């Protein structure tokens, strides 16, 4: 995919990329994850190192953990094998493979490596991979069959705000997303969806409303899990947009409100993405308790009372 003028502008504003080893995974986490019907599974998330995504989204910072050029043959299987060996004595139900790109893009995941990866994950109850809606197709179905287990694909919807979605430089529209969602459902493949909180080009006063509407949209299209991701600054482009009044960083209070408003949406599990949550603006006196509340809510699915703190004007009076 050739770079557009917008791609080149966004990439030119980026800070330096981190040095990563294409044969070593960025890291892994093992934590409980709630699924529909209240099921909680021990989930191993593996952050794989590979090629950068060709879609230069204005809000993205995942390119920091990618390499220049295509992913080398055999690299992903080696990374995954090393992580699995390190967790061989720990109970794991589900595995997520996040490669900061598109799993069904052969530049990011070489076709020759799919069978080796499928063999490594077949012992888990389900495997989750991430990919742009435009990459969903027959390769997805073939990989699902090769794993011999359930497959879930995570798609970035980001927002249904019409102006914002067009200006995110994601090369995605709702029709393309809907076609991918139908394709997954028709082929018995589960869907997870990412929705942004604080998407650029959405007016600050409307941000929470459009985030909730986007979650509802994903739920109506069969998403099993919907993860609300607060937009993180630091990629250069977001700072440019903030200076123009086109982006306002979300706060911890915003995230709490969205999760509360989405707690009873359909049969989907709606969770708060807490990666880098310490970057969200919040009073230090109650930040930790509020984050713990969201973390417990993610797993338990039961609304807990808001944290009462003297910094809250209502409490203070």
* pLDDT per position as a tens digit, 51-82: 999 999 999 999 999 999 999 999 999 999 99
Q: Would you place residue 19 in the very low, low, confident or very high pLDDT band (cuts 50, 70, 90)?
A: very high
Q: In terms of pLDDT, which residue wins out, 2 or 75? A: 75
pLDDT tops 70 at residue 314: no
Tell me the two tokens of residue 146: 């090769």
- The CB density around residue 39, as the number of other CB atoms within 10 Å, is 11
Total residues belonging to the chain: 317
State the residue range of the domain holding 146: 5-316
How confident is the model at residue 315, as a pLDDT? 61
State how far the Cα of 154 lies from the Cα of 125, in Å rounded to an integer. Answer: 16
Q: What percent of the chain has pLDDT over 90?
A: 92
Sign of CA dihedral 124, 64, 169, 206: positive
CATH number at residue 93: 3.20.20.70
Mean residue pLDDT of the chain comes to 96
Q: Are 252 and 281 in contact (CB under 8 A)?
A: yes
- In degrees and rounded to multiples of 5, residue 43 shows phi and psi of -120, 125
- pLDDT tens per residue across span 124-183: 999 999 999 999 999 999 999 999 999 999 999 999 999 999 999 999 999 999 999 999
Q: Would you place residue 275 in the very low, low, confident or very high pLDDT band (cuts 50, 70, 90)?
A: very high
How confident is the model at residue 292, as a pLDDT? 96
Q: Would you place residue 1 in the very low, low, confident or very high pLDDT band (cuts 50, 70, 90)?
A: confident
Could you tell me the end-to-end alpha-carbon distance of the chain, in angstroms, rounded to an integer?
58
Choose the weakest-confidence range: 105-119, 186-200, 237-251, 292-306. Answer: 292-306
Concatenate the DSSP letters of all residues of the chain into one string: ----HHHHHHHHT--PPPP--TTS-SEEEEEEEE-GGG-EEEEEEEE---BPPSS--TT--GGGG-BSSSPPTTHHHHHHHHHHHHTTTS--SEEEEE-SS-TT-TTTS-GGGHHHHHHHHTTSSEEEEE--GGG-SHHHHHHHHHHTSEEEEEEEEE---HHHHHHTT----HHHHHHHHHHHHHTT-EEEEEEEES-TTS-GGGHHHHHHHHHHHHHHTT-SEEEEEE----SSHHHHHHHTTS----BHHHHHHHHHHTTTSTT-EEEE--TTGGGSB--TTTHHHHHHHHHHHHHH--PPPPPP-TTSHHHH-
Q: How far is CA 193 from CA 98, 133, 227, in A?
A: 13, 10, 6
Q: Are 224 and 190 in contact (CB under 8 A)?
A: yes
Give the strand pairing for 27-34 and 40-47.
antiparallel
Structural domains of the chain, count: 1
Mean pLDDT of 194-200: 98
pLDDT tops 90 at residue 304: no
pLDDT tops 90 at residue 310: no
pLDDT tops 70 at residue 50: yes
- pTM of the model as a whole: 0.95
How confident is the model at residue 23, as a pLDDT? 98
As to burial, measured by CB atoms within 10 angstroms (0-12 exposed, 13-18 middle, 19+ buried), residue 68 is exposed
Choose the weakest-confidence range: 22-26, 93-97, 110-114, 262-266. Answer: 262-266
State how far the Cα of 145 lies from the Cα of 52, in Å rounded to an integer. Answer: 26
Tell me the two tokens of residue 212: 């909730």
How confident is the model at residue 316, as a pLDDT? 52
Task: Give the angle 289-44-91 at the CA atoms, nearest 5°.
Answer: 100
How confident is the model at residue 269, as a pLDDT? 97
How confident is the model at residue 302, as a pLDDT? 83
């Amino acid at each position: 995919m050739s770079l557009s003028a917008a791609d080149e502008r966004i990439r030119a504003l980026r800070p330096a990329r981190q040095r990563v080893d294409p044969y070593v995974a960025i890291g892994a986490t093992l934590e409980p994850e709630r699924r529909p019907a209240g099921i909680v599974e021990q989930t191993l998330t593996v952050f794989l190192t590979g090629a950068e995504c060709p879609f230069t989204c204005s809000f993205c910072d995942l390119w920091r953990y990618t390499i220049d050029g295509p992913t080398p043959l055999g690299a992903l299987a080696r990374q995954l094998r090393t992580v699995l060996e390190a967790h061989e004595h720990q109970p794991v139900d589900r595995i997520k493979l996040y490669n900061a790109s598109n799993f069904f893009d052969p530049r990011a995941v070489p076709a020759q490596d799919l069978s080796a990866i499928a063999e490594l994950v077949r012992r888990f109850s389900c495997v989750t991979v991430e990919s742009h809606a435009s990459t969903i197709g027959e390769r997805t179905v073939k990989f699902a069959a090769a794993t011999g287990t359930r497959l879930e694909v995570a798609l970035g919807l980001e927002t249904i705000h019409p102006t914002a979605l067009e200006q995110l430089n994601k090369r995605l529209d709702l029709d393309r997303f809907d076609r991918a969602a139908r394709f997954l459902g028709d082929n018995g493949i589960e869907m997870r969806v990412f929705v942004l909180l604080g998407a650029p080009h959405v007016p600050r006063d409307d941000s929470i409303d459009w985030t909730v509407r986007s979650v509802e949209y994903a739920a109506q299209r069969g998403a099993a899990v919907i993860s609300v991701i607060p937009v993180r600054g630091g990629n250069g482009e977001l700072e440019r947009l903030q200076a123009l009044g086109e982006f306002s960083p979300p706060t911890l209070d915003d995230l709490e409100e969205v999760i509360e408003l989405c707690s009873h949406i359909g049969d989907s599990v709606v969770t708060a993405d807490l990666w880098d949550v310490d970057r969200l603006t919040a009073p230090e006196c109650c930040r930790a308790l509020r984050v713990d509340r969201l973390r417990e809510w993610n797993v338990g699915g039961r609304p807990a009372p808001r944290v009462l703190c003297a910094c809250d004007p209502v409490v203070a009076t």
